[in-house]
Amino acid sequence: MAEPSDFAPSSAVVLGIETSCDETAAAVVVRNAAGEGRILSNIVLSQFDRHALYGGVVPEIAARAHAETLDDLVKTALDKAGVTLQDLSAIASTTGPGLIGGLIVGATTAKALALATRRPFLAINHLEAHALTVGLTDNIRPPYLMLLVSGGHTQLLLVEDVGRYRRLATTIDDALGEAFDKTAKLLGLPMPGGPAVEKAARDGDGSRFDLPRPMKGREDPHFSFAGLKTAVRHAAMHAAPLSGRDVADLCASFQAAVCDSVSDRVRRAMQAAVDLLPDKNHRPFVVAGGVAANKAIRAALTDVAAEYDFSFHAPPLELCGDNAVMIAWAGAEHLARGHVDPLDAPARPRWPLDGAAPKAIGAGIKA
C-alpha cells in the first residue's frame, strides 16, 4: 500500500471516476515528473446483472446504479491506494461521450469532491482516455497511429499530442463492438457479445461460411460492418435450426472476416501514416477500446504492424474495457500540461476527438 511519503513533490496523484455507460469505476494513479505512471488502485463494478433482463443497457437503470454505488467505490479506491482526499493533486471524471445520466452522476460527484478539497477538476473525454492509456502501460508518447475499437466507435486516428487528434477514418455504419454484440444476440449468445463470440469462435471453423470483407481494397480507410452483420443473419437463417457446431462456425467465420477487413483498413492507414510519422524509429501503432481485448484481432494487427515497421501496442486486457485508471491517467497528463477545467464544464453525450474532421458519407453521429 502506498504512503503519501512515497510520492516525490513533483508527482501528481489523481483520482479518476468513470460512469459513461454500465460500469461504475474509480481509480487512483500517480504520475511522476518524467511522465511515468503507476496504478495505485483500480475498482470496477459491473452492472451486468441489472441490465441482463433487457438485452442491453437501460440508461435510467445505469444512472441510478451509478448514484447508488459511486460514493462507496471512491472510498474503496482511496483506501486501496493508501491515500486520502487531501493527498490528491486533482480529481478527474469522464464527462463524455456516453449516456448523459451516468455522465452527470460521475461529473457531479467529482466536482463536489474538487470543490470540497480545493483540488483542480479535470473533465475527461472517454475516447481520449482510451487513446492515452499506453502512455501509462507502455510508456508510449505521441505521435502515434491508433485504432479505437469499442461498442460505440471504430476510428483510425493520428494521436499528435495530448489533446490533439486527427481522424483518418471512421465507420460509416456500425461500430465493431456493436457488430459483435448484434452477432451474439442473433446467435443466442450471452452479453457482453464480444467475449461470447470470441469464446465460441475458438471451437469453430472460420472457413465454413463465406462472409464478405466490407470495404476491403478501398482507397480510403473507412470501415463498414452492417453488411457483414446482415450476411451472418442470412447464413444463420439458411443453416437453421442452428446446432452448437453451426454457432461456433458462424462465430469463427464472422471473426475471420472482421480480422481480414480491419487488417486491410489498417494497412491503408499505415500507408498514409508513413508520411505523417516520418521518424522511422518511432512509429507506434496502438489498438485501444473494449474490442482491443479480442486476441484474434490483436494477433492479426500485430502481423500488419510488422509488415509496415510499426511497433504494436495495446493496453492489458483489464484496461481495454471501461475503467477509471484511464480517466485518472488522462487527467494526470492534462494536469502536467497545466490544463484544468471549470466546475461548470458540461457533460456531453457526443464529444468527437477530432471535431474538425470531415463527415464520412453514411457515418452519421459516429463521424
Q: What DSSP string describes 336-367?
A: HTT--B-TTPPP-S---S-TTSPPPTT-GGG-
Share of the chain above pLDDT 70, in %: 96
Answer whether residue 19 is part of any domain. Answer: yes
The pLDDT assigned to 358 comes to 84
Judge contact between 204 and 253, C-beta under 8 A: yes
Answer whether residue 301 is part of any domain. Answer: yes
171 with 281, same domain: the answer is yes
283 with 310, same domain: the answer is yes
List pLDDT tens digits, range 253-271: 999 999 999 999 999 999 9
The model's confidence at residue 52, banded by pLDDT at 50, 70 and 90, is: confident
264 with 326, same domain: the answer is no
89 with 43, same domain: the answer is yes
The pLDDT assigned to 58 comes to 84
Answer whether residue 253 is part of any domain. Answer: yes
List pLDDT tens digits, range 32-48: 999 999 999 999 998 77
268 with 157, same domain: the answer is yes
Answer whether residue 359 is part of any domain. Answer: no
Judge contact between 144 and 133, C-beta under 8 A: no
Q: How far apart are CA 351 and CA 342, in angstroms?
A: 17
Question: Can you give 272-294 as a three-state secondary structure string?
Answer: HHHHHCCCCCCCEEEEECHHHHC
Answer whether residue 252 is part of any domain. Answer: yes
Residue in 366, 324, 244, 259 with CA at minimum distance from that of residue 76: 324
Q: Please give the average per-residue pLDDT across 278-298, as a whole number.
A: 94
**Between these two residues, 151 and 64, which has the higher pLDDT value?**
64
Please give the residue range of the domain that contains residue 127: 4-135+319-351
217 with 251, same domain: the answer is yes
212 with 297, same domain: the answer is yes
Q: Please give the average per-residue pLDDT across 73-79, as a whole number.
A: 98
CATH code for the domain in which residue 225 is found: 3.30.420.40
Q: Please give the average per-residue pLDDT across 150-167, as a whole number.
A: 94
List pLDDT tens digits, range 176-193: 999 999 999 999 998 889
The pLDDT assigned to 188 comes to 95
Q: Please give the average per-residue pLDDT across 238-248, as a whole number.
A: 97
Residue in 306, 311, 353 with CA at minimum distance from that of residue 138: 311
340 with 309, same domain: the answer is no
Judge contact between 336 and 89, C-beta under 8 A: no
- Structural domain count, the chain: 2
Answer whether residue 364 is part of any domain. Answer: no
The pLDDT assigned to 8 comes to 52
198 with 310, same domain: the answer is yes
- By DSSP bridging, strand 144-149 and strand 121-125 are unpaired
113 with 213, same domain: the answer is no
Residues in the chain: 367
300 with 343, same domain: the answer is no
289 with 264, same domain: the answer is yes
List pLDDT tens digits, range 12-30: 999 999 999 889 999 999 9
> 367 pLDDT exceeds 50?
no
Answer whether residue 360 is part of any domain. Answer: no
Judge contact between 328 and 15, C-beta under 8 A: yes
| Cβ count near 319 (within 10 Å) | 23
Grid cell at residue 322: 471501461
> 205 pLDDT exceeds 60?
yes
